[in-house]
Amino acid sequence: MAYTLRTASPSADTSLAPLLDSAFGRANRESKLAAQLATGYPAYDAGMSLVASAEGRDLGYGLFLPRRFRIRGCEVSMAISAPIGVVADARSQGAGSFLLETGLAAIKDRGMRGAVAMGGQEFFRRHGFESAFNLYTCDAHRDLLPQDDAGEWVGLAGEDVPQLMELFALNYGAVSGSELRTNAALDWESNSAAAYTLVHRRDGVAVAYVRFRVRDTLAVMECGAKDAQAVTCLLAFLRRLAEEHNRPNIEVHVPPPHPVFRALFRRGCMAESNNFHDEVMLRIVDWKGLLQDTAESWLRPMIMCSQDELSLGIYGTNYCLKRTDSGLEVSEGKSTLHLELPANWAGPLLTGRLDWRDLYFETSGGFACQTMDPRGHDLIGMLFPPGTPMWTYSPVFEIADE
């Protein structure tokens, strides 16, 4: 079927809400999410709000939201591919693929390096997306939390946002997949049911915050603290929440580098991780640009191993990384020291979901890590260290998760 494409604003075009409600089989979720992103996100790009039509009928919609992520400790411009949906009677006829591939081309044209998607694993995997992020949880039993005075916790105010941006960077900066938040309200305050963002101030300045929701479970979706004192206040407040809602446990979804995760672990709380059921995926559309954006993370191990040049084989293309007086030069080509990455491993290796140990014990695909000399082992260990990759999506996306 031949499709036509147009751009449309979810906040202004009244036909989009019924289209999204029909595509996802539920009202006022994805349609509400798209409308709020269009009206409240500074990063919203009207040229990437796409509608696919055929024979005079709108059949699908896709929104691609530009964002900046931290990958390998560096800032990378990417997009979030959500929501993307096609009405039921037009599925498996190419409309979704048309929207996604058009959106990915637009992403690349705008200088973004890739896209993140959640859900629809089978669909996205057909289009080159790879599972690249995990979910981390501390099961915080309330009896293990401190009984200290938690202090006063109040609703979020506009003047708190600059401090929250600093706290987020301090607490999540080491996490591959954390977003660089903006001062937009949608980056901090959830509009979904039974979800709240509260802050704790010291001398009039926000030093801790917590975003939690009360459903079948009591879950902390995000939090941050300035120092050890603020961490203790936050943990004491979690105990208060558990007691007020008569819950023996709180699920705290924070990654291992986070100070709250570490404090809970030291108190004996059960730390868990899983692969998010492979639902949070990544596709890179510009590997050369991404390697350049993350140059510092490749250059450092090359310097430590006295290696001036190497190349990586990624999906049939070889990328040569060469040290220069000004930094790292990335070009297409093959070096005498070459590493061919196994199929479907490039994204997870980039985020740290897979690491050098997986490469070492991988025996399929002709990978030769086990026959490398010690210098090669050292270099691979530093090129692909283990990470704690987690997409720290902002609260507005909880609308689609109610």
CATH number at residue 83: 3.40.630.30
- Residue 60 in 3-state DSSP? strand
Same domain, 269 and 325: no
Q: DSSP secondary-structure letter at 258? A: S
CA distance 379 to 383: 6
Contact 114, 107 (CB under 8 A): yes
Q: How far apart are CA 335 and CA 329, in angstroms?
A: 13
| pLDDT on residue 402 | 64
**Quick check: is 396 in a domain?**
no
Helix (H/G/I), strand (E/B), else coil: 222: strand
pLDDT recorded at residue 366: 45
Cβ partners under 8 Å of residue 214, min gap 6: 194, 195, 245
Number of compact structural domains in the chain: 3
Element (H, E) at 323: strand 317-324
Residues 140 and 245 in one domain: yes
User: Could you tell me the residue range of the domain that residue 124 belongs to?
Assistant: 4-131
Same domain, 165 and 127: no
Measured CA to CA, the distance from residue 21 to residue 7 in angstroms comes to: 18
Helix (H) or strand (E) holding 23: helix 16-24
Q: Are 83 and 37 in contact (CB under 8 A)?
A: no
Answer with the one of 274, 300, 327 that is the final residue of a domain. 274
Q: Are residues 76 and 142 in the same domain?
A: no
Residues 252 and 323 in one domain: no
Cβ neighbours of 9 (radius 10 Å):
14
Residues 189 and 223 in one domain: yes
- Taking the alpha carbons at both ends of the chain, their separation in whole angstroms is 34
**CB environment 115-146: b (16+ within 10 A), e (fewer):** bbbbebbebbbebbbbbbbbbbbbebbbebbb
Q: Provide φ and ψ at 17, rounded to 5°.
A: -60, -50
Q: Quick one: 264 and 140 in the same domain?
A: yes
DSSP symbol at 257: T
Residue 247 lies in a domain: yes
Rg from Cα positions in the chain: 22
pLDDT per 10-residue tile (average), the chain, 402 residues: 91 92 92 92 94 93 96 96 92 93 97 94 94 95 95 95 97 94 91 90 97 93 97 98 96 97 97 87 98 97 93 95 96 92 92 90 54 70 93 86 68
In-domain check, residue 390: no
Q: In this structure, what token pair is assigned to residue 286?
A: 């510009």
Same domain, 121 and 26: yes
> Final residue of a domain: which of 97, 131, 165?
131
3-state secondary structure of 310: strand
Q: Is 119 inside any structural domain? A: yes
For residue 281, is it within any domain?
Answer: no
What whole-number distance in Å separates Cα of residue 3 and Cα of residue 56? 10
Residue 64 · residue 101 · CB < 8 Å = no
Residue 402 in domain: no
Q: Which tokens hold the place of 327?
A: 């930094």
Tell me, yes or no, whether 389 lies in a domain: no
Do the beta carbons of residue 179 and residue 67 sit within 8 Å?
A: yes
Do residues 95 and 17 both lie within one domain?
Answer: yes
Count CA atoms closer than 13 A to 367's CA, side-chain side. Answer: 22
CA distance 28 to 8: 18
Q: Which of 193, 182, 261 is nearest to 223 (CA)?
A: 261
Q: Are both 269 and 318 inside the same structural domain?
A: no
Pick from 97, 113, 131: which residue ends a domain?
131
Question: Residue 385 in contact with residue 356, Cβ under 8 Å?
Answer: yes
- Residue 264 and residue 303 share a domain: no
Sign of the C-alpha dihedral computed for residues 263, 245, 187 and 153 taken in this order: negative
In a shared domain, residues 146 and 253: yes
3-state DSSP percent of the chain in helix, strand and coil, to 5: 35, 30, 35
Question: Does the residue 279 lie in any domain?
Answer: no
* Category of 55 on φ-ψ map: left (φ > 0), alpha (ψ -120 to 50) or beta: left
